[in-house]
A = this chain, B = another copy of it.
Amino acid sequence: MERDGFDRLTIWNLLQDAASRHEDKEIVYRKERRTFREFRDRVQSFAAGLQHIVGVKKGDVVACLDWDTMRYLEAYYAVPSAGGVLHTVNIRYPPELIYYTMSHASDSFVIIRDEFVPMIEKFKDMFSFVKGWIVYSDDGAGIETSLKPLYRYEEVLTSGNELEPNQDENSRATIFYTSGTTGMPKGVTFTQRQIVLHSLAVQIAVTLPPLNITTQDVAMPLVPMFHVHTWGLPFSSLVGGMKYVLPGRYDFQKIPEIIDTEGVTLTASVPSILYMLLNSPTIMQHSGALGKLKALIGGASLPTGLARKAEELGITVVGAYGLSETCPALTISNYNDRALMLPEEKRRELRYRAGVPFPFVSLRVVNEDFKDVPKDGKSVGEIVVRAPWLTEGYYRDEAKTAELWKGGWLHTGDLGVIDEYGYLLIVDREKDAVKSGGEFIPSLIVESAISEMKGIGEVAIIGVSSEQWGERPVAVATCAAQIEEKDVINHLNKYVEMGRIQKWWIPDRVIFVDAIPKTSTGKADKKKLKEMVKL
């Protein structure tokens, strides 16, 4: 019996559900405020316009180039609902890589914010594969451009057509490219079903302590919308009935004020964005709002020093872990039963870890023989996972796909340990790992230890070759105060005495720089660092 596919795990059904259960809840971007119901109506109209005016057919890739805006959020829902595949283009890439990814994904249509139009126009002849450009500006003003065929976003939206929603849950919904510190970016894709199941699991996890999210929470992720579909929060937050705030282009002068006036209680970001938030010149004018703020931190391991600074301001910090390849949710530092038995001080430490698996995630830390390492907080192994929302593979790259899925488990390429409480701690990216005397040095733990030192800004450990040891660690750091190499070494020696790190993990050198170079997703770019310090 055909029943319009209402039992399918599709993005359209997810939106319909959110709009019917939480019809009055708001989505806010600058002066635009829409209820879930109004938002649903706009998505419906825009998706219908994509089908009937623009001519999007099932499987067509539709790119989007924008900051974190209302229309981008509309595209998140409308493109898959119209049958298209949303390509969230990494706008932090240089134009050459933007072109590479758009060409590799075969983008048929492009939704583009006015300010990105000039960059594209420069190379417009190369975009012959694009069959339509849908442009818009925040103020609705006309945009002068030679791109064609050209569609105005609001005209597409108001075309008055009927949507035939894409109810095939196994159809591809998104594609994006991993930042790839080495080699060319690799494309990963996700289906509607994967995104919906991911949303349910994320929503179940965030309702648990210490986040304790309810419909009264207000979400404003500071994860760029091109980055792993904002960790799925644009979907899970609507499932959870949370007011959703879009920050636009990140302006840390203004973000504390938005948090305050919109009553934001949940944010999410990589550590470097948290760092920028804490160092915002206006943050202390809005310190009252920080006591209610919960910050989910993923994308890179959370340095303890940074987490403590945030918590001194009243922010509850919770670690999480995932990859572009994994949609991304893998682990989150919920309190599990063992953590709930611990004193607050100890529990807080666990909050800064990668955490425990989300529902439906199987996670193992394995040695070279693919056997699980002991859960002793010390034994390092590679993290391999299974879950219902992992990418099928790298787009148009069978060799790398086979490597990713070797043995039927997705290989994260990250090294981790699991402690006696069941909490995962990421100790290194496999490819960034420093192997000294045949043993891995968990550089993220050393970085975290250095970050706890007063006056230290950001820090990264890199490996330099050593005749005797194969490799030895070197620390590169920024600092606000007068700190010398020997201060850092003394600081770390104390950690050795406390039993928190090993003597041989202490870097051979500490080099101070003005800034740590970052990848486009805000992680320390260790490849560039190695070139910088030329050791």
Contact = CB atoms under 8 A, between A and B. Distances in A.
Interface of A: 1, 3-4, 6-9, 13, 16-17, 20-22, 24-25, 197, 200-201, 203-204, 207-209, 214-216, 239-241, 336-338, 340, 356-357, 359-362, 386-390, 392-393, 405, 408
Interface centre among A21, A207, A356 (most CB of B within 10 A): A21
Contact of A204 (B9, B24, B239): B239
B215 A337 contact: yes
B388 A9 contact: yes
21 contacts: A3-B386, A3-B408, A6-B362, A6-B387, A7-B386, A7-B387, A7-B389, A9-B388, A16-B362, A17-B359, A17-B360, A17-B361, A20-B357, A20-B362, A21-B357, A22-B336, A24-B337, A24-B338, A215-B337, A215-B340, A241-B337
B405 A3 contact: yes
A21 B356 contact: yes
B209 A207 contact: no
A35 to B, nearest CB: 11
A337 B204 contact: no
A389 B7 CA distance: 7
Contact of A22 (B207, B215, B337, B392): B337
Contact of A359 (B1, B7, B239): B239
A4 B197 CA distance: 18
B214 A209 contact: yes
A228 to B, nearest CB: 18
A392 B390 CA distance: 30
A135 to B, nearest CB: 36
Contacts of A208: 207, 214-215
A51 B84 CA distance: 44
Given A6-B388, A200-B201, 4 more contacts: A3-B405, A207-B207, A208-B214, A216-B340
